[in-house]
Structure 1
Amino acid sequence: MRTSAAPRPFRADPRARAFAADVPPDRKFKIEDLMAFKRGRGDLVFSALALMVALFFLMTFFTETGWDKRKLPGDGWTYWARQFGLIDGEGRLARLGRILKQGWVAPMICLAILVPAAVLNLRDSWRVHRWRVRFRQPTSLRYEGEMWLRALEFVGWFIAYTLLVPVLGYLVSTLLLGTLLPWRLDYRGPRWMGICLAASFTIVLVFRTGLQIRTPVNIWLYDQLPQQAAAFMKTWF
């Protein structure tokens, strides 16, 4: 009599059902690494844009400070000595500190620092870019651009918050922002919502009730309340 072989027990392979997350694990940062500077993808483009902005300020320096409308006299040394505060109007010696009162001095100092710094930054960025190209490292700007575009979402949140304050008041607008924004960042659940509400209400108590920061006088939601309640809300919340 022929007997069939005993069936093998079923064994599930845990590796076949392993969960693979796209989000990398959190990295441990050291205190000294918080201010560490590292050039990533797209740094060359942003460095070039920074230099273009610095050169734009340099080109508009003479028109914005009024130098293009000045008529230089024949005695150039005396004129420049007066501009730099070395002598006064009567030709007497003056303190060098008077130059700081000139309206064009501060922009000139800023440009004297900004333009060379932008040039040196672009030079270093170009060297890193060449190194990445040589060793076939990613240099695409798409990833960096997407990160910058994602940041614009939070600008929209703040703009919406400022537009809601004249309509709903500082209290309601702050509570909405303090709960919806963490919810958008995936801090959800009763525990997190309770923490967000408590933190938002504390902010209102500190800045509006305690410090009395200025808010719009005419608030649509408060105007719908009775007169005494509206006056109380406008004063404290």
Structure 2
Amino acid sequence: MIKAQTLQDLFKRYRRPGDLFYSCICLAFSLFLAVNLSSQTTWASGTKLLAQPAFWPYAAVITMVGCSTLHLISSFVSPKLDGRWQEIGFWFKSVEFAGWFMIYVIIVPQLGYFPTTIIFSVALSYRLGYRSVKFLGSAALFGAVVVIVFKSFLQVKVPGGAVYEYLPNGLRSFFLTYL
């Protein structure tokens, strides 16, 4: 185990790859929340400070702004480590899956919950590199089980697909109710 020589060594901070970018994003987001806070919360007259509907949101956002500012300042004054652009590239790769989810949400009302969930389960498995028939079949089965559990057992209300309108009456009502 390495012992710190001084208290300053113990708290030495290096700017990790992507740290400056991340701190800028956090500060921008917290400032956005601070600017919009007054339109999202209210102060009630005749109520104690800690019971105010706006107190805790204000406390949280002010803390976010303060901590984000300190993080940004510490990012500027800390020695930089290499690899920032690789780290930022890795973050942007993860945004791809938010895109997949948005496409899923857009397609469900058109194609229906059951077929869309199975298609996206298989497509995401394929995208993640699981390309054997065994894995893709497992992904399809997983998608079917998810739909059955959510629609039949938990009775989650998911809009039926527009494509269900082309099914015969009995089959259409079954699909709308259970799939």
TM range (shorter): 0.7 to 0.9
The Cα shift of 1:214 comes to: 0.9
**Does residue 1:126 correspond to 2:68, yes or no?**
no
Q: Which fold has the larger relative contact order, with Cα–Cα distance below 8 Å and residues 6 or more apart in sequence?
A: 2
Equivalent position amino acid for 1:108 in 2: Y
Q: What 5-or-longer segments of structure 1 have no aligned partner?
A: 1-37, 68-81, 86-97
Matched, 1:168 2:118: no
Q: Which residue of 2 aligns with 1:74?
A: none
Distance in 2 (CA, whole Å) between partners of 1:228 and 1:201 is 20
Q: Is the 8 A contact 1:84 1:99 kept in 2?
A: no
TM-score by length of 1: 0.61
Measured against aligned partners, the alpha-carbon deviations of 1:53-99 in whole angstroms (never above 9, x if no partner) come to 333444555566579xxxxxxxxxxxxxx9684xxxxxxxxxxxx32
1:1-237 superposed matches below 5 A: 40-61=16-37, 85=47, 98-128=48-78, 131-132=79-80, 137-138=81-82, 140=84, 142-217=85-160, 219-237=161-179
* Whole-angstrom CA distance in 2 between matches of 1:190 and 1:63: 53
Q: Return the offset for 1:209.
A: 1.5
Is contact 1:83–1:99 with CA below 8 Å preserved after alignment? Answer: no
Q: Deviations over 1:203-229 (max 9, x none)?
A: 111111211111114x22211111011
Which one has the bigger helix percentage? 2
| Alignment coverage as a number of residue pairs | 166
Same amino acid, percent of matched pairs: 29
**For 2:112, what is the secondary structure of its paired residue?**
helix
Moved more, 53-62 or 194-203: 53-62
1:47, CA displacement in angstroms? Answer: 0.7
List gaps (5 residues or longer) in structure 2: 1-13
Q: Normalising to structure 2: TM-score of the pair?
A: 0.78
CA contact (8 A) 2:114 2:144 kept: yes
**Larger Rg belongs to:** 1
Over the aligned positions, Cα root-mean-square deviation in angstroms equals: 2.7
Amino acid at match of 1:138: D
1:39–1:125 CA contact under 8 A, matched in 2: yes
